[in-house]
Amino acid sequence: MDYVDYYKILGVGKDASADDIKKAYRKLARKHHPDLNPNDPEAGKFFQQLNEANEVLGDPQKRERYDQYGKDWKHAEQFEQAKQQQRATGHGNPFSGGGEYSYTDGGDFSDFFASMFGNRGAGRPAKFKGQDYHASLTVDLSEAYHTHQQVFTTQGKNIRITVPAGIENGQEIKLPGYGAPGVNGGPNGDLYIAFDVKNNTSFERRGNNLYKQIPLDLYKAVLGGEEVIDTLSGKVKLKVSPETQNGTKVRVKGKGFPVYKKEGTFGDLYVTFQIQLPTGLTAKEKELFEQLSKER
């Protein structure tokens, strides 16, 4: 596997803080998202490298292994186990036949791992899990309201997945075994899909709750009545109390967004009334308002 400099991908130095890495990733992800670069065939590949760089450098343990072992960081645990075995038995490197392997002495970890894979050593080669893949999938908020299936392409393969209702923006799901093939009979890697949920509705989503402003005419606000409103699951009637004030918020229980992987469970819808003053009054209407103002 070719070495990929994750620091270079994110445009940060090796002394970058966790906050620096997070800011660099967000800036580049917005700029190079495949949806914003539909005519650039390299955008998807670079976006995948961005996600990999963020996954590794954004995790303190993975970053430490990456800094020490470079492209072989995923096999660091096997390397350390082999070193411990050497110390316990008093033998040199059991894979290469030489002395204890040392990267700081100028050795190349790739040689060590090659011996573990059976290229130079005797005995049964070690098995390793394949590389994980990362992809992104864009869905509309109205689509995310329902459990549905989508087909997308990654690594040249068409994959049909079921998207559970209630998926959130930025949420990531794992498809076990859909990554790169394993080494020496090891298990395949996994596929991680990050969701980009676009709001194509008039509702504002906050977690599992939805929010919407509804215009309400002056007369209904004063006298009361009923108001029919749209929700993501259909129309509902709301009772409007007499003398409703501008900015009044009403909760419609169970008409919010579905809770992820909790079938039949929903958040709430919060409706804020925005009272609309009448315009283009006739002379008679103005007279009636004047009489009302005198009565008040």
pLDDT at 97: 39
Contact 203, 232 (CB under 8 A): yes
Chain segment 26-69, per-residue pLDDT in tens = 888 888 877 777 777 777 788 888 888 898 999 898 898 888 87
d(CA 49, CA 266): 36
3-state helix, strand, coil in the chain (%, to 5): 35, 25, 40
263 by DSSP, 3-state: which? coil
pLDDT at residue 200 above 90? yes
Model pTM score: 0.58
Q: Which residue has the higher pLDDT, 128 or 239?
A: 239
Q: Which of 36-50, 66-80, 265-279 has the lowest mean pLDDT?
A: 66-80
Q: Which of 51-60, 112-121, 233-242, 283-292 has the highest mean pLDDT?
A: 233-242
Highest mean pLDDT among 2-16, 29-43, 97-111: 2-16
The predicted structure's pLDDT at residue 82: 61
Which of 12-21, 30-39, 120-129, 245-254 reaches the highest mean pLDDT? Answer: 245-254
> Looking at residue 140, what DSSP letter applies?
E
Q: DSSP characters for 161-194?
A: EEE-TT--TT-EEEETT-SSPPBTTPPP--EEEE
* pLDDT at 1 exceeding the cut of 50: no
Instruction: Identify the structural domains of the chain with CATH numbers, from first to last.
Output: 6-116 (1.10.287.110), 133-198 (2.60.260.20), 204-291 (2.60.260.20)
Please give the residue that has the higher pLDDT: either 69 or 273: 273
Orientation of helix 60-69 relative to helix 43-57, angle to 10°: 100
Q: Which H or E run includes 102?
A: none
Rounded to 10°, the helix 60-69/76-89 angle is 70
Amino acid at 271: V
pLDDT tens, residue by residue, 172-196: 999 999 988 887 788 999 999 999 9
Are residues 133 and 48 in contact, defined by beta-carbon separation less than 8 angstroms?
A: yes
Q: Would you say residue 156 has pLDDT above 90?
A: no
